[in-house]
Chain A
């Protein structure tokens, strides 16, 4: 459904651009996440590569119009491959003064600024701490192409006659803004129209109002003098195939359910609601018909311990949380290490310490996950690198847990949990099932069963209740190797502590070797992990194209490290480890490999900008 007559449309210039960064921002009740999500969908369906960054306050509804209540959604869509939601914003949509104030600094000079001028009244200006109205101050916005649009009034006009209350009418203004931006970037609005119709199928007048607001926005762009140019971003040359938009948390849920289904085993997920991990629980609870049992526990401790009980019972067992919740789970994770039960702990990292920045991203839980238990308490630790990668890593975490009878930490962060990217839909036949084995026969002389009789990889068998003759007891007290009986003997304790560590070390033989992007040797190796992948890859790529001797090593396996990692480090003169923390991976790497790795550390609750990284790379090379 096109809103623009072709003959007339030609009057306005259509320019082709490679990639665009848009940010929608407004009050947390203004529907900015929805507008951003719809724009992402429409662009993805069109064939652009996309990357998104939702940015919302921890308060569900901070006071309307306040600086604390501003919610934003940034996305980059492109005709070439993109790894990040972009450094600088090309087009900023600001629904009120507070949104303008908190977001303007990210708009590039010469960028397009679209504001809802109706919201710039005295009260809202005051709440945003503006002394004068920036829309009337010639200098304040001189560096930008400003479009003052009376969105509230135009939206109300467009829905007139539908019998909506003013409040209901005003709630459509995000869709008006969306319509305007659709026109600006020559988007086909059909997916959004379909979505609105189905979303409000039970409220036809609301559906109609939104459709009218969408069209009014498009028409406004087309017909007013204010906009003389609009832009076109061609489809990206992604590999052929079917794609789906995927956020990190969705991908985790899909990956876990897939692993369980392929293994023909039930998945037990125990979780306690916490930002930004709750969506994993939400997504999984919709997948009961895949054999997924979800348990909303009374607290974080019950979440991990219920999972330990389920693992003892033979289920593929998973819990997920974020910083404060992971801190509470520490004792339980120690029990899982001691009893050598397979389970996965997903840590969707957020800003810390304590409650910290619940809705902002950070990488500061590496130490907590790696070390955060009493005793020498090793486990496997993986980190997903992007939203779509979460699908693969969820399966990989379960595979390593089951094959090596160990708890596995899978680290993601708020950025990849909520961010979205296109996911090439895999063929089900190409996915490898995890092999789950529960012994049914005694494994010792006579008819005994030894729960800690280990194989060549030091892995113990996973006999489960209900199996006659294999009755045994597990527990948190140090135990005798083989029998699992309580054992306080000093030499046995040293043997068991070393054995638990050796078992994890041996897993290096069951994970891929470390690969490097860029030259195999050279001046500088940039080492990263987790959600900084996209920014670091883009920065290194740009530096290589600028003729610099730099390569990128992105580590997805942190415990154990890939077996060739030391060799990789030896091929470069300098090592830089950018992290969204004070240098946690750096400390581990320096301790383990005695390399003089330098850090670049940003702790602002925001991802790296590519430009920050290229600047640092230049500095390291000069």
Chain B
């Protein structure tokens, strides 16, 4: 966590530097300044409350004027999120938020654009836009609230529901193999991929800060409890004494170690498979070390394949690499074209091609 602390300090310093450069002190905002006047209408004890609260805490620390932040969402419980933020916001249509956000970001690269989506919204009806926003590396922060269920339509299985899940639309158990959001994101060459849990306040805050600091598509999966239709789906990752046994908290450059006593680790065996080993048998140096900056996505993909209860599930930042963004490239082409051809002379345009004079 030291690295993150350093990062946070750097961000804060940078904010201070910007403030002194402009001579106009930015108003110091608090979480309250990001709360809209709308009554929040999620179910009691919905995991969304916690995510909303952490977001409101993180935004004031970014040094970005509130008016330059936009939340775009699709359809679903999570997609009501923009109504509760006192920023610019767009509650759009099912699955299309990444495409709307892409248009906005390309038109207005100076804005910070967040996409709030769910497992049905991003991976089912909106799978195509999700994949393409990521592969283009548009500078968007995509936060996927994964509750493994359709909540707003009252409890059908979703593309992330486990096989055999009994729901209103699968009374005999779902026969759909689930999709791993992280695998899809990594497979689409995402430049930032992370996972956290709604009620793990400190961890979620850290992940949101890291996502906000990333340039390019930052994809964050948040395990979110649907108290009404899928209660307890993520207990393994949220219960205080159990989560340390069931999850691995990723730290860049460090070996993969977990357990309440930090006595277990992950090793890459001779067959190229990941396995759990005891630290009484294996030395730390022989464990798999986490490298979030690895150019090849294989490392992050392998980690994304670790699923509880067979394996402990990694939490934190899987991947964070640098790559030019789509919106910046579009902007660059505009500038290059203008430098080369001048700023668009209409008369010259009209007179280009096959012209003639009638006397």
Q: How far is the CA of A466 from the CA of B342 in the complex (A)?
A: 28
Q: Is the pair B96, A428 in contact by a Cβ cutoff of 8 Å?
A: no
How many whole Å from B212's CB to the nearest CB in chain A?
A: 17
Q: Is the pair B67, A470 in contact by a Cβ cutoff of 8 Å?
A: yes
Q: Which chain A residues border B67 with CB–CB below 8 Å?
A: 465-471
Among B66, B70, B85, B88, the most chain A Cβ lie within 10 Å of the Cβ of: B88
For B356, give the chain A residue with the smallest CB separation.
A45
Q: Is the pair A476, B92 in contact by a Cβ cutoff of 8 Å?
A: yes
The binding surface of chain A is classed by DSSP as: mixed
Q: When each residue 272-290 of chain A gets 1 if its CB lies under 8 Å from chain B and 0 otherwise, what string results? A: 0000000000000001111
Q: Is B333 an interface residue (CB 8 A)?
A: yes
How many whole Å from A212's CB to the nearest CB in chain B?
A: 23
Q: Is A582 an interface residue (CB 8 A)?
A: no
**Which of A334, A425, A473 has a CB less than 8 Å from the CB of B355?**
A425
Q: How far is the CA of A244 from the CA of B352 in the complex (A)?
A: 8
Q: Which chain B residues border A466 with CB–CB below 8 Å?
A: 67-68, 108, 110-111
Which residues of A from 287 to 311 have beta carbons under 8 Å from B? 287-291, 293, 295, 297-299, 301-302, 305-311
Q: Is the pair B103, A244 in contact by a Cβ cutoff of 8 Å?
A: no
For A469, give the chain B residue with the smallest CB separation.
B67
Q: Is B107 an interface residue (CB 8 A)?
A: yes
How many whole Å from B97's CB to the nearest CB in chain A?
A: 8
Q: Is B99 an interface residue (CB 8 A)?
A: yes
For B68, give the chain A residue with the smallest CB separation.
A466
Q: When each residue 308-343 of chain B gets 1 if its CB lies under 8 Å from chain A and 0 otherwise, what string results? A: 000000000000000000000010011001101111
Which of A166-174, A312-320, A518-526 interfaces with chain B? A312-320
Q: Is the pair A305, B337 in contact by a Cβ cutoff of 8 Å?
A: no
Q: How far is the CA of A261 from the CA of B349 in the complex (A)?
A: 12
How many whole Å from B143's CB to the nearest CB in chain A?
A: 17
Among A239, A270, A312, the most chain B Cβ lie within 10 Å of the Cβ of: A312
Given A242-B351, A474-B91, is A288 in contact with B334 using a C-beta cutoff of 8 Å? yes
Q: Which chain A residues border B86 with CB–CB below 8 Å?
A: 471
Residue count of chain B within 8 Å CB distance of chain A:
59
Q: Which chain B residues border A301 with CB–CB below 8 Å?
A: 96, 99, 128-129
Q: Which chain A residues border B338 with CB–CB below 8 Å?
A: 288-289
Among B111, B330, B350, B357, the most chain A Cβ lie within 10 Å of the Cβ of: B350
Q: How far is the CA of A306 from the CA of B103 in the complex (A)?
A: 4
Q: Is the pair A244, B351 in contact by a Cβ cutoff of 8 Å?
A: yes
Q: Is the pair A245, B353 in contact by a Cβ cutoff of 8 Å?
A: yes
Q: Is the pair A244, B91 in contact by a Cβ cutoff of 8 Å?
A: no
Which residues of A from 312 to 371 have beta carbons under 8 Å from B? 312-315, 317, 331-332, 334-335, 339
Q: Which chain A residues border B107 with CB–CB below 8 Å?
A: 266, 268, 293, 309-310, 313-315, 317
Q: Is the pair B350, A426 in contact by a Cβ cutoff of 8 Å?
A: yes
Q: How far is the CA of A287 from the CA of B104 in the complex (A)?
A: 20
Q: Is the pair B355, A242 in contact by a Cβ cutoff of 8 Å?
A: yes
Q: Which chain B residues border A191 with CB–CB below 8 Å?
A: 354
Q: Is the pair A290, B111 in contact by a Cβ cutoff of 8 Å?
A: no
Q: Is B21 an interface residue (CB 8 A)?
A: no
Q: Is the pair A289, B90 in contact by a Cβ cutoff of 8 Å?
A: no
Among B87, B106, B356, the most chain A Cβ lie within 10 Å of the Cβ of: B356
Q: Is B83 an interface residue (CB 8 A)?
A: yes
Q: Is the pair A428, B347 in contact by a Cβ cutoff of 8 Å?
A: yes
Q: Is the pair B88, A472 in contact by a Cβ cutoff of 8 Å?
A: yes
Q: Is the pair B104, A309 in contact by a Cβ cutoff of 8 Å?
A: yes
How many whole Å from A52's CB to the nearest CB in chain B?
A: 12
**Which of B66, B104, B352, B354 has a CB less than 8 Å from the CB of A471?**
B66
Q: Is A24 an interface residue (CB 8 A)?
A: no
Q: Is the pair A309, B90 in contact by a Cβ cutoff of 8 Å?
A: yes
Q: How far is the CA of A467 from the CA of B108 in the complex (A)?
A: 12
Q: Is A241 an interface residue (CB 8 A)?
A: yes
Q: Is B36 an interface residue (CB 8 A)?
A: yes
Q: Is the pair A243, B99 in contact by a Cβ cutoff of 8 Å?
A: no
Given A299-B128, A305-B103, A485-B38, is A291 in contact with B344 using a C-beta cutoff of 8 Å? yes
Q: Is B161 an interface residue (CB 8 A)?
A: no
Q: Is the pair B132, A244 in contact by a Cβ cutoff of 8 Å?
A: no
Q: Is A44 an interface residue (CB 8 A)?
A: yes
Taking A258-B349, A268-B107 as given, write out 17 further A-B residue pairs in contact, using a Cβ cutoff of 8 Å, ordered by the A residue number.
A44-B356, A45-B356, A244-B350, A289-B338, A289-B344, A295-B103, A305-B129, A314-B108, A334-B93, A425-B355, A465-B67, A467-B67, A473-B90, A474-B90, A475-B82, A476-B91, A476-B92
User: What are some 27 contacts across the A-B interface (CB < 8 A)?
Assistant: A191-B354, A235-B358, A244-B351, A245-B353, A254-B349, A257-B349, A289-B343, A289-B344, A293-B106, A295-B102, A295-B106, A298-B128, A299-B128, A302-B129, A309-B102, A309-B105, A313-B104, A314-B108, A331-B93, A466-B68, A466-B111, A469-B67, A470-B67, A471-B86, A473-B85, A476-B91, A486-B83
Closest 4 CB pairs of A and B: A309-B103, A306-B103, A475-B91, A290-B344
